[in-house]
Structure 1
């Protein structure tokens, strides 16, 4: 259960990617020949994705990305999606596989060696053979008996679902149905508090459980449950089939209490600071909250805690009343073993990829740090820092302008300036983490995958409980912070993944600044604007929840947000009408981030023109007949070139708060007069409509 990350973070590359060198030293860029070669390669890539016959004023996505789907077809490549971030991830994964498969070297710390042992144990999972099932059954036996394995001898009267899930939580940090976790206090981020709330749901979103359009994914999940019961626990086919159906129906019933993401509710709306005694009164006798917390934490807690998403607990009370104990017990034990499962692949390369994913799930911080120590590129770090300073300076100027944001009252703008000044940017390399201390209780070996997962789960649960009596640390979100930039609202910090340090995907010092600003600066700008969007504006300069907006400015914000709700609700994706959603955080960040990056680039470009004898010919690319400013918009558009497998397009619409790539391009650009000016789009054309949505 990671309730906090989901709600307090502000929320794809290249034909050169496959040939990207392992380090900057592998390719000397200092010779004119190599510089020109790299520029020509980038120009060829950009051009290959474009359909220059398309009218940029009718559909700029078709113009910038019209050939991308043909070259990078998700269906042909048999992947879920293709795009810039997928390409970045592949590049990073290749380096991670190389690190993990190589023998121990001078770079390895003792902790690195343990991570390698975990990866090796995953590769050797076939060696467990018949003992795998026995190991899973021993895990179940730690907490009781599972009805589907016991048959008619299972004793219903002795089963205590709440006590069982609490003991699992205490021992392994696994909390089926309902659990507690310790995390940073959203109102005072220098300390930690207990949060009570829902389990992690395998299908993640409410819509995945309740909408007709996502039925196929529920059916696949049910089949997966059935296979697991048969193969991993030896349950006969018909019984496994019936049990899988019961477990899925129960999970769907639980999911009715989940939040509808389209409502745009922030963490401050979903949490209530309340005493354990008051929670006990609220849900007793069905939910014994006091006992749940005592057993999970191993101590009595009498003070205030946060209840997350009250409607989940209210729904849970009714679900528990009407659900047979046998179903609840089967579900809880199934969710326990689910955390220890890995099905070996007959294909060795696929097995390596699966084991990298599992290693990242548990050791994301370590892998990012291992990558950073081996492949650290000072040029990319400097480039990102330079972009950050320029964007921060530009947005500061915008906030101080008397006209640019005149819909925000001056006192509120002053507080926004203070928040911006306090905002920081970090490369997510974990260079300051004490891994020796974190690994003190681990002894991972390469022979037993289940035992390794058990050890890491034991340690994680122990460390989580200890947090209650320690000062708050930076938020950890596992592999979610390894591939995409994120604004951690509770820290007022933007975190940049190490994957973006890889050269030649979206940055190089031989590329025009137009390309760098269109891609890298737009991504950083997107995260900066998250600090001032629907959710971000509820957090102050210190990263604490605090409504610092005056009533008039807040009213103006909501009116302008409504424009985005209507605009994006009109789009149709693959024949699917998109929903009008109250939550517009991602669209606000897309629009504001692009505008901010372009304003910063335009200032830089115009400053270059003022320099005597300044050669700005490098601001275009060989063979591409576009101006520097046009190249900025083309580069921005190509961040979001993508393709999705036909089977997942309805899933994408149902679960992703981000728009499909096409609308992340045409939405922001059709709102921007500067774009229309550079491409001479006539008034009233699709990319230059009369009504434009503007916030930042």
Structure 2
């Protein structure tokens, strides 16, 4: 039967109405999502701002004044920082990725997932308790925690036990052991013997009476964990063992250097193992220790550092009861294996991810890249980089940078044109090969953990007999590599809605991402970068007049504007701090000019202007740029930190902003105020 024209018209009208309704619903949903994202970002920015602070007196305190209330540092976590949240987000996303339960073709991914699943199997962990660890760690005479007839002091061989634990678990107990590149001979590794990393760090914290509270907190933490490890042993026993741990580490700390700033070379000497045997005898038989750990006799010289430590260790072993040494060894094993940690808590998944990061960081990053690599974010990254690079290029070819001679200017342009962004990725096939001999099974957490530790330690010790490989430092933010003339971008950095998003104002993108890219770009053109040419070869491409003018202008940062380089009664000024301030000031100026150029080229300004502001915040786009720049450096430091070795973030933020006339103009700071000094310093 044929439909009538009237019915066809009704049908077409119904289809059109349905289509329009669906389109309207999609638009509403999209606008709703956009509104929620913008509102959330505005709420985050507002939460950190302290409006009681004067923007012209201390802009860092204005932008980040409430950070420390929301993210207070403590002795257990002496530093909290906004940028650290990037790593926290990576951990949470990795936990979601590892537990999604899908089939995995990649063998390395499968092993990561098996370990993660075994770690988060709370029921199995509760049932197993300490038994797997007790079976693995043979104390020869019984576990010292069980103070009964099963503990036989005469059978306790402390050196053999700590050596076997170092060989199998990689834990340094009483004796520190590492494989390090030779200080003098290229292409060779050596063993470094001496002090292990103690929990509280420096000699001062262990022995100075002004740190009594920190030591009490440390002891309380040990007591609390021992209750979790061995609840049947009682409070008095846990108190006694915790005191023994603290006493031993205080005694060990006497062998640490008084000056924590001494370099490794300044506190190190070379010795043959036979000399160590003669020096320390049977109390600390290092020849025997190394033979057990490395599984062969060592005839080459080793590094001993610090020089006083092992002699002090002899006194510790001689003066300390065996039971206390056994208890200390037991504690270090339990602490190393993180038996309690955050297991059986709501943060269990994140804790399990951090265990994977501890041992298999590259493998997890490769898996993360395959699952979360967002082409839109990569495009945004490249677009912002092009804006930053083009802005600096225009500056170089103009006469704005008067201190650069014409010949040096041409070399600078050539070098800039060669700089590329490079995503730090890993070869999947190589990573899979590395894990081929690692045996992991679902549901067997402690077996898996011990297998990973043994695998990791074996690879570490094998490095003694091969040429040194360049260490791959953990990178979370863009980093300039002078030998390749690239800016390396870690996978962790490419996470949506942290620094930037399509729904956020471009002001925030340029104030954060733009600044970070400009900062690393300028490393190719500062006092260090001038030693490397556009191909990454060590060749100085600056002429003498440019070098002299740069160095003279750089003194402005020390003599005029950065005389207040003080933070918590410490004078932070140094050549490194001066270079940092030059990079910060230059990068901020470049990022701001790039943002201004972007804004000038916007076609429909009225439509874009609504997106360049945020709800809840009564700030102009330019002001949002400066607030975004400052808030990426929000930080809190615990009072227990003895010394700062990098320029603290408040000084970096205020120093860079005070050098920028546009900042003072935007916030109407009077000339001569702290954030608008009469003398400003400028190189880039």
TM-score range, shorter chain: 0.7 to 0.9
Deviations 1:583-606 (A, max 9, x none): 785x55763443232233255356
Are the structure 2 counterparts of residues 524 and 138 from structure 1 closer, same or farther at C-alpha, using a change threshold of 3 Å?
farther
State whether residues 166 and 172 of structure 2, in contact with CA within 8 Å, keep that contact through their aligned partners in structure 1. Answer: yes
Q: Aligned pair in 2 of structure 1 residues 359, 192: CA closer, same or farther (>3 Å)?
A: same
1:257–1:316 contact (8 Å) kept in structure 2: yes
- 2:167 maps to 1:170: yes
The one of 461, 464, 471 equivalent to 1:475 is 471
Q: Which has the larger radius of gyration?
A: 2
* Residue of structure 2 in register with 1:19 after alignment: none
Other-structure match for 1:358: 355
CA contact (8 A) 2:118 2:444 kept: yes
1:333 corresponds to 2:333: no
Whole-angstrom distance in 1 between the partners of 2:486 and 2:263 = 18
Structure 2 counterpart SS, 1:683 = coil
Per the TM alignment, residue 153 of structure 1 is displaced from its structure 2 partner at its CA by: 7.6
Measured against aligned partners, the alpha-carbon deviations of 1:119-144 in whole angstroms (never above 9, x if no partner) come to 22222244344643332222331677
Cα distance in 1 for residues equivalent to 2:531 and 2:297: 31
Kindly provide the CA deviation profile for residues 299-353 of structure 1, in whole angstroms up to 9, marking residues without a partner as x.
3444455555546556546655654454334323321232224228696523333
- Residue 245 of structure 1, aligned match among 234, 237, 243: 243
Summarize the Cα distance change of 1:297–1:489 in structure 2 as closer, same or farther, 3 Å threshold. farther
Aligned residue number for residue 456 of structure 2: 460
Residue 597 of structure 1, aligned match among 568, 580, 587? 587
User: What is the deviation of 1:635?
Assistant: 1.5
Q: Where do 1:169-318 residues align within 5 Å?
A: 169-183=166-180, 192-204=189-201, 208-210=205-207, 214-229=211-226, 231-233=228-230, 235-258=233-256, 263=261, 269=265, 274=270, 276=272, 280=276, 284-285=280-281, 288-303=285-300, 305-307=302-304, 309-310=306-307, 312-313=309-310, 316=313
Change (3 A) 1:671 1:609: closer
What residue in structure 2 maps to residue 438 of structure 1? 434
CA distance in 1, matches of 2:410, 2:307: 35
Q: Which moved more, 1:133-142 or 1:205-214?
A: 205-214
Answer yes or no: is 1:138 the counterpart of 2:127: no
Aligned position for 2:16: none
Instruction: Say if 1:462 and 1:161 are closer, same or farther in 2 by CA, change over 3 A.
Output: same
TM-score for the superposition, normalised by structure 2:
0.74
Relative to structure 2, which stretch is displaced further, 423-432 or 459-468? 423-432
CA distance in 2, matches of 1:321, 1:366: 45
1:68/1:641 contact within 8 Å kept: yes
Q: Distance in 2 between matches of 1:469 and 1:94?
A: 38
2:100 maps to which residue?
A: 102
Q: Are residues 1:507 and 2:506 paired?
A: no
**SS at 1:91 equivalent:** helix
Aligned residues of 1:526 and 1:594 also touching (Cα < 8 A): yes
Q: What is the deviation of 1:504?
A: 1.9
Q: Which stretch shifts more, 489-498 or 318-327?
A: 489-498
Specify the alignment match of 1:371 in structure 2.
368
CA distance in 2, matches of 1:220, 1:312: 25
Q: Does 1:638 align with 2:634?
A: no
Deviation at 1:48, TM superposition (A): 6.0
1:456 Cα deviation (Å)? 0.6
For the residue of structure 1 that corresponds to 2:367, the secondary structure is helix
- What secondary structure does 2:499 align onto? coil
Give the one of 611, 633, 639 matched to 1:650: 639
Q: Conserved in 2, the CA contact under 8 Å of 1:191 and 1:471?
A: yes
The separation in 1 between residues aligned to 2:525 and 2:311, in whole angstroms, is 32
In the TM superposition, residue 42 of structure 1 has moved relative to its aligned partner by: 5.0
> Following TM superposition, by how much is the alpha carbon of 1:112 offset from its aligned partner in structure 2, in angstroms?
1.9
User: Contact (CA 8 Å) 1:293, 1:300: kept in 2 or not?
Assistant: yes
Q: Would you say the 8 A contact 2:37–2:503 is kept in 1? A: yes
Query: Hey, what does 1:124 align to over in structure 2?
Result: 121
Alignment pair present for 1:666 and 2:657:
no
Pick aligned residue for 1:688 from 676, 679, 684: 676
Deviations 1:468-487 (A, max 9, x none): 3344445245xx54x55667
Structure 1 match to 2:6: none
Question: Any idea what SS the aligned residue of 1:141 has?
Answer: coil
- The answer on whether the counterparts of 1:637 and 1:665 sit within 8 Å (CA) in structure 2 is yes
What's the TM-score once normalised by structure 1's chain length? 0.72
Kept in 2, the 8 Å contact 1:517–1:598? The answer is no
Higher RCO (CA-CA < 8 Å; seq separation 6+): 1
Deviations 1:372-424 (A, max 9, x none): 11110123334445666777898899999999798x999x9999999999998
Per-residue displacement from partner, 1:170-197 (whole Å, max 9, x unpaired)?
Answer: 2222221223223556778866544434
CA contact (8 A) 2:561 2:680 kept: no
Q: Structure 1 345/594 Cα, relative in aligned 2: closer, same or farther at 3 Å?
A: closer
Shift in alpha-carbon separation, 1:296–1:39, aligned structure 2, 3 A: same
Unaligned stretches of 5+ residues in structure 2? 1-25
Paired positions, count: 647
Contact persistence 2:280–2:311 (CA under 8 A): no
Q: Which runs of 5+ in 1 are unaligned?
A: 1-26, 572-576
Cα deviation, residue 457, structure 1: 0.9
Q: Determine the C-alpha separation between the residues in 2 that align with 1:416 and 1:295.
A: 55
RMSD between aligned residues: 5.5
3-state SS in 2 of match to 1:505: coil
